A and B are shown apart, each in its own frame.
Chain A
Amino acid sequence: MKKIYRLEDLDCATCAMKMEDAVRKLEGVEGASVNFMAQKMIVDIKDDSDEDSVRKAIAKACRRVEPDCKVIG
């Protein structure tokens, strides 16, 4: 299942790269791709996992990389 999250205040491209890496390693995530320009993250979530908890894990992983950036959606 593909989900698109908006990344508010994503200003640093290195962080975008690190977020992508961090989210890819999360449980329940098949793949992730950050579009730095469009400030969006496209995450492929495994079908059998709980979307809400994955979303929380994603927000947490991103906060660890770049505290200024908020995950919305």
Chain B
Amino acid sequence: MTKKQLILLIRIAASSVLLLASWAFKLQGPLGLAAYLAAYAIAGWNVVWGALLNIFHGQVFDEKFLMTVATAGAMGLGDYKEAVAVMVFYQIGEWFESIALGKSRKSIASLMDIRPDEAVVLRDGQERAVDPSQVEVGETLIVKPGEKIPLDGVIIEGSTSVNTAALTGESLPLDRGPSDRVVSGSINLTSVIRMRAETNFAQSTVSRILELTENAAQRKARIEGFITRFSRWYTPIVVLAAVLLATIAPLFFAQSWGKWINRALIFLVVSCPCALVVSVPLSFFGGIGGASHKGILIKGAGYLELLSRIKTAVFDKTGTLTKGVFEVVAIHPQARSEAELLDLAALAEANSSHPIAQSILRAHEGHIDKSRISSVKEMAGQGVEAIVDGRRLYVGNSRLMESVGASWRPCHHEGTVIHVSEGKEYLGHIVISDTIKQEAREAIAQLKSLGVERTVMLTGDSDEVGQSVGKAICIDIVASRLMPQDKVSRIESLISKDAPLCFVGDGINDAPVLSRADVGIAMGDLGSDAAIEAADVVLMDDNLMKLPQAIRLARKTMRIVRQNIVFALSVKALVLVLGSLGFATMWLAVFADVGVLVLAILNAMRALR
């Protein structure tokens, strides 16, 4: 509890005691009046004072003013007890609101607290703990187990596991060793590492994420605009109704003026739109905070709203639906075992750094005895010639096979085909291809079950490759052989006003497309600059299941926003109706004002989870 809240609580208690005492002792006359006025002043002086100040500032229809008029009116009618009680009740509500708001602000903040407190830097052979912003690029940092990695950098010494859950929502630890990159905000789990800082603090992943989530209010949701317009009209209209109720209604109906004025005062208490106005941004902020904890960064409530209504999902192929890494997908030997063919190819390619050679070596897995290789000759654009165990091997494309006169045969598999021959004798081939992400099919299926009507894949690859990937994961439309600028015009032709579209890419070469889509979603490697800049939503790892998860989260948040709006409006409408018929008390009206507000805050906090 803050000092301000404590003081308010004491005032509420003092005023309540005074009110109860003067009521219990049935104080009458000037003494009673003095006691009630004192209780009123203790509870509500700042409300009355604030109302007066605001009138000077030209702010008429604010909460304080309305409460002051309502309670002063009640006193004018002789209901001192009720006036004091309503003021006390109102302040209790304010106190609850303040506590609930503070709590929710704190829990959101702690959810997003990935900021490292300090960095241990090695200077002149000594370890020094400094603020992360004091560390310069190139300095050596020491990170102990259990500590946050303060800056992005590369491990120099030591191997450990790191937990990136705070950034990606993925709780499975990653193993990191010398020359591996580690990202600020992740937690070092198992052993001490020394690392070299590669960024300063302002440019580190942590700072960029915080900047993005904390300043996410840039683009507001449509529904927020609605609330703003609504509240601008709501208060004056209800106040006007109150005035009419107090002045015109008694002329037509039999009851006394006092009764009608009392009803009008109830209107004034209900006329503040606060519950609505506070609960909407609070729900959105909770939703954005909860999402960021799961590794889904959303740049504003507007995008959260759009995300909940996505009808068309467009994907880039390479690196988004596929891994973007080449892998051996098939081994077709001729009169030999698969292992033997792979072994020969791996030996021939053992010294090459070409991506294709690398993927063959990765598939081989076992130890390669380089002493078996006596000479290797690279043949540009064709492959390699290598002498292994005294045998002359050729490993490469069909042109190489033609030139050595081996009778190669084509393959029905999509992808790059690597042929192997010993002299003129054809030994078989290995097919290398980009592989589809394991979860891609399931993610697309989930999107469809979430009501996404069209799924589209854009690729620069050939029709064959595009179609085969599209078919494998059940994409509705495949557009292939596209240049980057074609992708933009494709997106433009797919955009329609009532059916929001999202584009999912890995942020490499597709920044224009990301910014053109209604919601640009970048996924993949942590902290890719281009992606974080151009995208509206950033998925912090490359798991496609994050996309349906993000949509579900957005829908949940929107549901909470709508619940709050409907709840607040209907309670207020009910009290207005009951009040005009004479069935509502001012107590009920105060509940409709602050009680609803506190309930709306509590409901909004569900968006966090």
Which of A's residues lie within 8 Å of B, judged by CB? 4, 9, 11-15, 17-18, 33-40, 42, 64-65, 67-68
Q: How large is the interface on B (under 10, 10 to 19, 20 to 34, 35 or more residues)?
A: 20 to 34
Residues of chain B lying within 8 A (CB to CB) of residue A35: 214-217, 281, 285
Query: With A37-B105, A64-B57 given, is the CB distance from A11 to B217 under 8 Å?
Result: no
Q: Is the contact region of chain B dominated by helix, strand, or loop, or is it mixed?
A: helix
Question: Do B228 and A64 have beta carbons less than 8 Å apart?
Answer: no
**Contact residues of B between 206 and 234, Cβ < 8 Å to A:** 214-218, 220, 228, 231
Contact status B53-A14, CB under 8 Å: no
* Complex contact A17–B215 (CB within 8 A): no
A64–B59 contact, CB under 8 A?
A: yes
* B108 adjacent to chain A (CB < 8 Å): yes
Whether A65 and B57, one on each chain, are in contact in the complex, defined by CB atoms closer than 8 angstroms, is: yes
Tell me, yes or no, whether B145 is within 8 Å of chain A by CB.
no
> CA separation between A15 and B97, bound complex, in Å?
15
| Contact indicator B217/A34 (Cβ below 8 Å) | yes
Q: A33 and B218: CB pair below 8 A? A: yes
**B 257-286 contacts with A by CB, 8 A:** 272-274, 277-278, 281-282, 285
Please report the number of residue pairs spanning A and B whose Cβ atoms sit closer than 8 angstroms: 64
Interface centre among A35, A37, A38, A42 (most CB of B within 10 A): A37
Cα distance, A54 to B558, chains bound together (Å): 36
Identify the closest chain B residue to A31 (Cβ): B218
The yes or no answer to B169 lying at the interface (CB within 8 A) is no
Q: Does B152 contact A (CB under 8 A)?
A: no
- In the complex, A4 Cα to B281 Cα: how many Å? 19
Identify which of B58, B62, B105 contacts A14 (C-beta below 8 A).
B62
Contact in complex: B281, A13 (CB < 8 Å): yes
Give 15 pairs: A residue, B residue, CB < 8 Å, sorted on A.
A12-B278, A13-B278, A14-B272, A14-B277, A15-B62, A17-B277, A18-B59, A33-B218, A35-B216, A35-B281, A36-B285, A37-B104, A38-B217, A38-B285, A40-B215
A58 to chain B, nearest CB (A): 15
Minimum C-beta distance from B238 to chain A (A): 14
Dominant secondary structure of chain A at its interface with chain B: mixed
State in angstroms the CA–CA spacing of A27 and B277 once bound together.
27
Q: Which residues of B contact A15 (CB under 8 A)?
A: 62
CB distance from A52 to the nearest CB of B (A): 23
Contacts of B282 in A (CB 8 A): 13, 36-37
B416 at the interface (CB under 8 A from A): no
Residues from chain A with a CB closer than 8 A to the CB of B214 are: 35, 38, 40
A28 → chain B closest CB, angstroms:
20
Interface 1/0s, chain B 222-253, versus A by CB < 8 A? Answer: 00000010010000000000000000000000
Q: Which residues of B contact A40 (CB under 8 A)?
A: 214-215
Contact: B218 with A14, CB < 8 Å? Answer: no
Tell me the nearest residue of chain B to A10, going by C-beta.
Answer: B101
CA distance A34 to B220 in the complex (A): 10
B285 touches A14 (CB 8 A): no
* List of A residues within 8 angstroms of B97 by Cβ: 11
Closest A residue by C-beta to B216: A35
Q: Which of A36, A39, A42, A64 contacts B215 (CB 8 A)?
A: A42
Q: Which residue of A lies closest to B228 (CB)?
A: A17
In the complex, are the beta carbons of A11 and B62 less than 8 A apart? no
Does any Cβ of A come within 8 Å of B506's Cβ? no
Residue from B53, B58, B63, B277 in contact with A67 in the complex, judged by beta carbons closer than 8 Å? B53
- The CA-CA distance from A15 to B274 in the complex, in Å, is 9
Q: Does B98 contact A (CB under 8 A)?
A: yes
- Complex interface: chain A residues within 8 A of B62 (CB): 14-15
The answer to whether the Cβ of B50 comes within 8 Å of any Cβ in the partner chain is yes
In the complex, whether B4 has a CB less than 8 A from a CB of chain A is yes
Pairwise interchain contact B217-A9, C-beta atoms closer than 8 A:
no
A42 touches B63 (CB 8 A): no
A35 to B212, CA, bound (A): 13
B98 and A11 contact, CB distance less than 8 A: yes
User: A14 near B231 (CB under 8 angstroms)?
Assistant: yes
- CA A73 to CA B2, docked complex, whole Å: 22
- Chain B positions within 8 Å of A37 at CB level: 104-105, 108, 281-282, 285
| A14 adjacent to B215 (CB under 8 Å) | no
A-facing residues in B34-81 (Cβ within 8 Å): 50, 53, 57-59, 62-63
- Pair A65/B59 contact, Cβ less than 8 Å: yes
Report the separation of the CA atoms of residues A48 and B62 in the bound assembly, to the nearest whole angstrom: 35
Residues of A within 8 Å of B273, CB to CB, are 14
B237 to chain A, nearest CB (A): 16
User: Closest chain A residue to B59 by CB distance?
Assistant: A65
A33 touches B217 (CB 8 A): yes
Q: Are B231 and A17 in contact (CB under 8 A)?
A: yes
Q: How far is the CA of A9 from the CA of B98 in the complex (A)?
A: 10
**Which of chain A's residues have a CB closer than 8 A to the CB of B228?**
17
A sample of 12 more A-B contacts (CB under 8 A), given A17-B277, A33-B217, is: A13-B278, A13-B282, A15-B62, A17-B231, A35-B217, A36-B282, A36-B285, A37-B104, A64-B57, A64-B59, A65-B59, A68-B50
